[in-house]
A = this chain, B = another copy of it.
Amino acid sequence: MAEFRFHLPIEVRYGDLDPQWHVNNARYLSFFEQARMAFLVQLGLWDGQDFNRLGLIVADVHIAYLAPMVLFGKYRLDQRVARIGNKSLLFEYQIVDETSGEAMARAETVMVTYDYDRHASIPVPESWRRKIAEFEGLVN
Contacts and interface: CB of A to CB of B under 8 A. Distances in A.
Report copies per complex.
4
Interface range for A: 35 or more
A51 B13 contact: no
Contacts of A13: 30, 33-34
A59 interface: yes
A43 interface: no
Contacts of A49: 70-71
B33 A14 contact: yes
A61 B58 contact: no
Interface string A7-39: 000010111011111001111111001100100
CB-CB nearest 4 A-B residue pairs: A26-B29, A15-B30, A19-B51, A25-B58
